Amino acid sequence: MSEPLLELNDVSVSFDGFYALTDLSLKLYKGELKSIIGPNGAGKTTFLDVITGKVRPTKGTVTFKGKSLLGVSEQQISRNGIGRKFQTPRVFENLTVLRNLELSASPEKNAFSLLGSSLPQASKDEVHRIMNYVGLTPFATVQAGSLSHGQKQWLAIASLVAQAPEVLLLDEPVAGLTDEETLRTAELIKSLAGDHTVVVIEHDMEFIRDLGFDVTVLHQGQVLTQGPLETVKSDPRVIEVYLGPPEQ
């Protein structure tokens, strides 16, 4: 098999002696799609924080394309091609949908620099393609702050795609969405597959099923098991961590 694109090896994260991740090892290959599930406090967010450079591991290694990410700034990791959408969609509420996307596509990550300059035509075309793709073209001139919650989620995902990252990390992309919006988001994420390597963290099992990605279950900061959702769901250890131990 080829080299992993992203690799965590024996990673532990301790917050004042409390271990959010314990000897976590996980590999992600180019073009791979992975859903991460796990009960509250399993370490899912910390896992993403370690990859994006927000949290530095107490122990272990994190490599992207064979190079260590330890000590690399969050900004640089993002520039290197690892993009993240946070749980609460982060969009510039006072800018239009189009401006939000243009800003994401611009190498100058500064709202002011974009005002005076203009994107190359190829980037503009790409921005319009992505905007159309997420169904936001009719809202191009609308301020992001007046979009619905679902539309903000899509704008946040579209903004991420506009940055052209190799790895997309999506933290609870369907939190607070309607069933219809959830289904559309699953289609959108599936369509990113192939061109991107995608990691989705979610609690919504219907959505995880719709995605059809292999699932990794985290528990107490470690990988409990991995595989197709149906196999994982019938694993007694997974049932126990979600529902508690069987009654005697």
Ligand X SMILES: Nc1ncnc2c1ncn2[C@@H]1O[C@H](COP(=O)(O)OP(=O)(O)OP(=O)(O)O)[C@@H](O)[C@H]1O
From the centroid of its chain, how far is CA 199? 5
Nearest residue (CB) to ligand X, 4 versus 38: 38
Q: Look at strands 214-219 and 222-227 and give their pairing.
A: antiparallel
Beta bridge partners of 215: 35, 227
At 149, give phi and psi (nearest 5°).
-60, -45
The region of 43-51, 191-199, 228-236, 237-245 touching ligand X under the rule CB under 6 A is 43-51
42 binds ligand X (CB under 6 A): yes
Nearest residue (CB) to ligand X, 43 versus 161: 43
Task: Respond yes or no: is residue 172 known to be catalytic.
Answer: yes
Task: Given the residues 32, 102, 172, 202, select the one marked as catalytic.
Answer: 172
Q: What is the DSSP letter of 55?
A: S
Minimal distance, residue 232 CB to ligand X, in Å = 16
173 binds ligand X (CB under 6 A): no
Among 3, 10, 25, 41, binds ligand X (CB under 6 A): 41
Spatial separation of the C-alpha atoms in residues 9 and 61, rounded to whole Å = 5
The interface with ligand X within residues 3-22 (CB under 6 A) comprises 15, 18, 20
Among 4, 43, 57, 89, binds ligand X (CB under 6 A): 43
Counting Cα atoms < 13 Å in the Cβ hemisphere of 42 gives 21
Q: Which residues contact 35 (CB under 8 A, 6 or more apart)?
A: 199, 200, 201, 202, 208, 211, 213, 214, 215, 216, 229
Among 4, 6, 26, 38, binds ligand X (CB under 6 A): 38
Residues at the site binding ligand X, with contacts judged by CB under 6 A: 15, 18, 20, 38, 40-46
